[in-house]
Amino acid sequence: MVQYLSSERQKTMHKEIPLKEIKYVLLDLDGTLLDLYFDDYFWAHLVPEKYAEKHDISFGAAKDYLYSTYKSHEKTLNWCDIDFWSRELNLDIPALKEQIRHLIEVHPHVIEFLELMREQKKKIYLLTNAHGKTVKIKLRKTKIGKYFDDVLCSFDVGHPKEFVEFWEKAQKKLGFNKENSVFIDDTEDVLKSARDFGIKYLIFKSSANSKAEPKKADGFITIHDFRELM
């Protein structure tokens, strides 16, 4: 069971993350705002299942092959490029995502947090490695697109978020100030890249997949749930 912060810990965190003073709220999508269960199920179960059917091999053999292939493209633009995976695997990846879009869910208290940030007149930017086609599917299903002042995909700048170059180009495009920005993500390597660039306030979202154990990240303020920030 997830343990939420005590009132004393919340007070401490609110001093560390002074939301009232922050002007720019930078947010990741998958695992941070949305339940990563959709993506984990898609790539670990549905894609291997369809690949096995197409090539008349066992599910286990398909999974072994796909996992090694996935691994070879980590931290590259190919990793989240569904057009690349459609070509690479000879599967219609966007169509498969549409088939299970009912599994796309917003994490608890995300909507309340976004509404609060809008009420406080903050600029809210969605920064994601996800492909634009995937983002459209998810925003159409969840209806959270209306809360963002802008959406920036790694494909728009030519670098994944794990690289400082992403942040350099993101700042030029969006115009946020590093000193009064907060960035929330569920991936430690991405937070490290944002820290190297100089984003002042960083938060690790530990509960990415609602059906998996929370993750850990050393050196970052951690939340399980957006309620802890309100």
Per-residue pLDDT of the chain (230 residues; tens, 9 = 90+): 344 445 555 555 556 788 888 999 999 999 999 999 999 999 999 999 999 999 999 999 999 999 999 999 988 899 889 999 999 999 999 999 999 999 999 999 999 999 999 999 999 999 999 999 999 999 999 999 999 999 999 999 999 999 999 999 999 999 999 999 999 999 999 999 999 999 999 999 999 999 999 998 888 999 999 999 98
Residues 155 and 77: beta-carbon distance below 8 Å: yes
Query: What is the pTM (predicted TM-score) of this model?
Result: 0.91
Tokens read off for 117: 């940030």
The pLDDT value recorded for residue 4 is: 47
The pLDDT value recorded for residue 158 is: 93
Residues 136 and 97: beta-carbon distance below 8 Å: no
Tokens read off for 224: 């399980």
Torsions phi, psi for 101 (to 5 deg): -65, -20
DSSP annotation of 170 reads H
Residues 191 and 185: beta-carbon distance below 8 Å: yes
User: Does the 7-35+105-229 domain belong in CATH 3.40.50.1000?
Assistant: yes
Residue limits of CATH 3.40.50.1000 in the chain: 7-35+105-229
